[in-house]
Amino acid sequence: MKQKAEVVICGAGIAGITTAYHLAVAHGVKDIVLVDERAPMSLTSDKSTECYRNWWPGPGDDMVQMMNRSIDLLEEWARASGNVFHLNRRGYVYATCNSENISGLEAFAQEASDLGAGEVRRYENGKGGYQPLAAEEFEDQPEGADLLTSPDLIQQHFPYLSLDVVGLLHVRRAGWLSAQQLGTYLLDEARAHGVQLLAGTIDDVLVEAGRITGVLLADGTEIETNVFVNAAGPLLDKVASLYGEELPLHNELHLKAAFNDQEAVLPREAPMVIYADEQQLPWDEEEREWLAEDDETRWLTETLPSSAHTRPEGGLQAQTILLLWDFHNDPVDVQIPPELDPEFPELALRGLTRMIPGMQTYVGRLPKPYIDGGYYTKTQENRPLACPSEVEGAYVIGALAGYGIMAAPALGELLATHITGGELPSYAQAFDLVRYKDTDYQELLENWGASWQL
């Protein structure tokens, strides 16, 4: 079978869907075919924690500006759709039990603020004015971030946190949404503007004289096209190899657990809560000795990274909470479906007990958890790609790591602008493969620092 299309997009995850949406709805491009071998949003895009924030580190203000644009779009779509995807604005709360880490939180806050993420308000002993979060609202909420360093004030607003929490940063242009509903809303809009969703596997991408001429599906269907968008998520490099391009990427497996918080340890109105301290898990002496004896488990007795985090999932009447903690970030080969470590929920839970002592009630007797996970596809410096490729007519959108749901609205818009030839935003070059040809950027890459990215 042979057909023709103006644009073929490989992948109906959030990256492919936002690109199709912007091309069809904003630019009026006709004859777009969106091909996926799975159900839309079902490989990585439904495994996410579904959170967003405009709070990003440098160098440069590109991540902050791009995320601000993305959140503008999310808010616009929430208004237009009657908020079908449940956008909230509860914020991210980073908590520390170590007074020496407050200056780190402050520096992190000041850096993002200087890059355009909003002002930092400081609340010390006895200083009022901190505005508590609104659980279900996204309109008319504070911007920037609040730094609370009075334990009394912290307890007043976050009584489920440990009395040992001495510093807390509440990032305000942040929250979460339903990614599945967002994807469905955008896909429905795109289809109403003529986008065709096609079930199938893209097996080959045809190139003649350095130009895209079509794609070949596993069932033998050939689609003639001069524009091909690679939005294949963790399979981005595999699909790029079909048109002869090598992308500088690696994949990491990240897991997430959910369980019923029957004891209501985390209030339903809570924000996303992140433990900002490194830690050693509180094993008893016997457990510690036993774990330390084995090469496979010794790491559990050592200092583990910061960023164990949790948030309520579902409405105010629900009980589910999510648990996450990225203690392994090694590059791995992609395996679909990935292998899920059954020990993960218990470890992530233990990682939260210092910050939220009530979690202790579940240690060793966690109500049956649900585990899932997917791949963070990353460039070396964890910045995304949304740009043309070396092959004329080929484009790539991906390497969205742990921030694809929040970034795809702006990156899909950026890629649609590349394809249709409009004026590019200030952050375009930062997410373009051409950055790797810039010698100043190569120097920057050599000194790229660790960051607070989730």
Binding site for ligand FAD (CB under 6 A): 10-16, 35-38, 43-45, 47-52, 201-202, 231-235, 239, 254, 256, 373-374, 398, 400-406
Using the minimum distance from each CB to ligand FAD, give the nearer residue, 162 or 307.
Answer: 307
Mapped onto helix, strand or coil, the DSSP state of residue 141 is coil
Count the residues in the chain. Answer: 454
By C-beta, is 17 or 154 nearer to ligand FAD? 17
Q: Rg of the chain's alpha carbons, rounded to an integer?
A: 23
CA end-to-end span of the chain: 44
Whole-number minimum distance, CB 255 to ligand FAD, in Å?
6
- Cβ closest to ligand FAD, residue 95 vs residue 154: 95
CA distance 197 to 194: 10
CB of 25 to ligand FAD, least distance (A): 18
Token reading at 300: 């559990």
Which 3 state secondary structure label does DSSP give 73? Answer: helix
97 vs 347, beta carbon nearer ligand FAD: 347
The CA-CA-CA angle for residues 308, 310, 311, to 5°, reads 160
Spatial distance between the Cα atoms of 281 and 376, rounded to a whole number of angstroms: 25
Q: Give 171's strand partners.
A: 92, 145
Minimum Å gap between C-beta 372 and ligand FAD is 7
Residue closer to ligand FAD (CB basis): 10 or 153:
10
Cβ distance to ligand FAD smaller for residue 332 or 444: 332
DSSP annotation of 392 reads: B
Min dist. Cβ of residue 203 to ligand FAD (A): 7
In angstroms, what CA-CA distances link 430 with 384, 386, 426? 8, 9, 9
| Smaller CB separation from ligand FAD, 16 or 214 | 16
The Cα 384–Cα 409 span in angstroms is: 13
Nearer to ligand FAD, 90 or 121 (CB): 90
Residue number with CB closer to ligand FAD (166 or 385):
385
* Minimum CB distance to ligand FAD, residue 14 (Å): 5
Are the CB atoms for 257 and 81 separated by under 8 Å?
Answer: no
User: Is 276:93 a contact under the CB 8 Å cutoff?
Assistant: no
Nearest approach, Cβ of residue 252 and ligand FAD (Å): 9
* Residue 151 CB, nearest approach to ligand FAD (Å): 29
- The least CB distance from residue 148 to ligand FAD, in Å, is 23
- Report yes or no: 232 and 12 within 8 Å, Cβ to Cβ: no
CB of residue 377 to ligand FAD, shortest distance in Å: 7
Respond yes or no on whether the N-terminal peptide bond of residue 337 is cis (omega within 30° of 0). yes
Dihedral angle sign, alpha carbons of residues 282, 287, 289, 293: negative
* 109, 110, 116, 122: CA torsion to nearest 10: 70
